[in-house]
Chains A and B, each alone.
Chain A
Amino acid sequence: MRKQVNQSRRHFIKQSITSTGGLALGFFIQTSTEANTSTATQKSFIPNIWLEIESNGLITIILTQSEMGQGVMTSLPMLVAEELDANWEDVQVKQAPVDPVYGWQGTGGSRSIRKGWEPLRKAGATARAMLIAAASKKWGVDRKHCKPENSYVFNKLSGIKISYAELVPEAIKEPLPDKVTLKNPNDFQLIGKPIPRSDIPTKVNGKAMFGIDVSVPNMLYASIIHCPVFNGKFISYNKAITKQIPKIKHVILLENAVTIIASDYWSTVQARDKINIEWDYGEFASRNSKTIHNDFIKAKNKPGKIHRDDGENDDFLRNNKQAITSVYETPYQAHATPEPMCCTASVANGKCEVWVPTQQPTGAFKTASKITGYADENIKIHTTLLGGGFGRRNIQDFVTQAVQLSLKTGKPIKLIWTREEDIQHDYYNPATYHQLSALLGTDGLPTNWYHKLIGTNYSHGALDLPYNISNLRMESVDVRTGIPLGPWRSVSYSYNVFATECFIDELAVKAKEDPVTYRLKLLKDVPRLSKVLEVAASKAKWNSKSRPNIHQGVAITASFGSYVAQVADIIIDKNKLPQVKKITCAVDCGTIVNPDTVIAQIESAIVYGLTATVKSCVTIKNGRVEQSNFHDFHLLRYDEMPEVEVHLIKNQYPPGGIGEPGLPPVAPAVVNAYFQATGKRVRKLPIT
């Protein structure tokens, strides 16, 4: 363990010594929107990330982030290694232990690089300064003659060099520097270069350990059956099941669910068909997509929560006969992470240990703590690799279940949801209904814009409309439908930007203007967004009309600190549906840390968004989700994949997020292209 020897409140860096006498620096990065920054302002600040340099030269960065394919286990260490002038080969990453003393540990909101940008580079620079100080003393030369490079410090006067490894015993005695200077971006050696992701090799040979792969001695397997109707109640089940299938050890009731526990997983799956559970479905069984839609219609005349109110809007809203109005709708969407929800828990001898693919390790910790009542030191959470997150693994339902089952049986339990449970008991992206209206001035540009969002109060993507419009009101009415909701990739940008970017296209058509030109006229104050729009249009050969069968649509979004424009090239197939051939995407995410990861995340967000545009949706019938697996919750397949061409804008702004910003423009770009092709305006997703 580390011994604390020094800390600097001013820099929020804590200096320690590792168990083997190495240099350890602890620092803090904000990993959640929760009020966890307080830990960084307390008298004794508690780091949540550590940099360790051992006397054998190994450089370890201990991170709290969860790896779900977004490449944080590579891009975050790059920030440290850059300023440390470390040899990349010497750098390794470890997952931090989960402990509430570190503040909230979580991964989401495209936050990791944005929040890590300053503190991680400062950590590297601090260690570098201490190594230089040690070298300077050793050689008796001024620090300015000591040049760090590739895990060595070079003596510019004599030409000799000394390794970081050799300097560690001296560097640990150095005080924390009062201030450190970060590199000029023009001097970056690692940042901006495509560095291969460290998590990839074990993902091609089957050795990567996901949550579902965890194995604990004497572990039993659990399968869960939730009441198919939300909020229904359990009545009874076939108690003979344990005799019919001898491997079944327990049947345990949880809130709104029955769990089957056996010595192997397959037996639990077999038992699902034979357990004959009787449920009281309750009143919710009368709910369906139509009744929910009716609730939205009723709610649309209620006064909304006003999120933005620029200029003068009352007159326009009282008397808007000249207004252009449209209604847009989006359905519920499931996350459909490839790895279904799963969790392994072992509660025994006053200790609770949990292995879980989660975006919220601290949430898992608190869940385990609440259920068991055990002291913090008796709870241990292991974050495994995540087989997809997309927001779903922020929720603690599966952790709660696994811990409860282990507590009740006294055995380690691996709970694995079936795909059917996963699709039918998600926390869905909300269904939404949007009323939009606008008035055009004599120049064809909107003088008034009104957006009323029905279904949720999550307003980002609507309240931050980037266009320069003098009179603008955005309001929302939350509607509690009883369907569980949660964050889905890009959160409210997914549905709000669909509505706003289609509606602005309608206005361009009314004004008889080109959709790109029209947007540019309204984006004069947002140069970074104008730039990506111009680049995407130019690279996509917008308006070239050289390919008569190809129809184009465009959309833009500024979200999570990044700017994205996309042009969709579509053809119309024999069923009169859009077939997306190509998405040309321009991205300004500020400083690019690992360009190949940025491109991969954009490709990924486009496929995720396109799936929701042309393939998937969740509908409700008799109080339950109608879809249950990939035969009716359709995902985009290989042969449906458009070409995706990503153009990165180079600049030196601080980095923006990248996991989510690529998603919102896809649906409106495709819908706008469909209008160009057919003259038909789609206002409801998906297009199927």
Chain B
Amino acid sequence: MSSLNKTFIVNGRIHNYAVEDDIPLLWFLRDTLGLTGTKYSCGIGLCGSCMVLVDNKAVNSCQIKAASVANKSIITIEGLSQNSYSSVQQAWIDEQVPQCGYCQSGQIIAATALLDNNPRPSSKQIDEAMSAVLCRCGTYQRVKRAIHRVINSQSSKS
């Protein structure tokens, strides 16, 4: 196990850390940087609770090594908005989406990646993106409504 000093750009802030080659980004974010909004739930990339944005793409942070994303832009749930809430977060409040809330960082990151890259996704594209994140409380219907709320507000602006 080697530890080399690397540069991480997390939520726009630069951190220099010597990380072990194999530590997953999830545990680096949670235990080293204290960014606990990103959650552990399955550890095998099947539930999406640990999703973060790496160069604007949603990835399961339990499945990638921290060392492999050095110098890339990493955005966690804490960094989606500098103050108040992003349009996706606000839609989540407006539709009262979360219940226990544990998976919701993953849901919001997945929706953000989807809508940032494609402001008017088809139902099939929404299904594909959002099926990556499990919700045991069953908030899917509200997730759907919140996503459509963002799509509609964006299209009414443009």
Contact = CB atoms under 8 A, between A and B. Distances in A.
Interface of A: 68-71, 196-197, 199-201, 203-210, 212-213, 215, 221, 264-266, 269-270, 336-340, 385-390, 416, 418-419, 596, 600, 603-608, 629-631, 635-641, 643-644
A638 B102 contact: no
Interface of B: 22-24, 27, 30-32, 34-44, 46-47, 49, 76-78, 80-81, 85, 89, 92-93, 96-105, 108, 127-128, 130-131, 133-144
Nearest to B98: A203
B130 to A, nearest CB: 4
Contacts of B31: 221, 264-266
Contacts of A608: 136-138
A629 B39 contact: no
A266 B47 CA distance: 19
B102 to A, nearest CB: 3
Given A596-B96, A638-B140, A638-B143, A205 B77 contact: yes
Given A264-B32, A339-B100, A340-B41, 6 more contacts: A199-B98, A210-B36, A386-B100, A387-B101, A605-B138, A638-B143
Contacts of B108: 204
B24 A639 contact: no
A266 B23 contact: yes
B138 A338 contact: no
A418 B40 CA distance: 9
B41 A641 contact: no
A387 B34 contact: no
B131 A387 contact: no
A607 B137 contact: yes
B35 A206 contact: yes
B133 A638 contact: yes
A248 to B, nearest CB: 13
Contacts of A636: 138, 140
Nearest to A414: B31
B47 A339 contact: no
Contacts of B142: 600, 603
A71 B97 CA distance: 12
A206 B105 contact: yes
Contacts of A386: 100
B77 A206 contact: yes
A204 B93 contact: yes
Given A339-B41, A604-B139, A630-B47, A204 B127 contact: no
A338 B47 contact: yes
Contact of A266 (B27, B38, B76, B85): B27
A419 B42 contact: yes
A635 B42 CA distance: 12
A69 B99 contact: yes
B141 A338 contact: no
Contacts of B144: 638, 641
A205 B40 contact: no
Nearest to A210: B102
B148 to A, nearest CB: 13
A57 to B, nearest CB: 25
Contacts of B98: 69, 199-200, 203-204
A641 B137 contact: no
A23 B116 CA distance: 51
Contact of B99 (A70, A266, A339): A70
A596 B140 CA distance: 15
Contact of B136 (A200, A215, A265, A338): A338
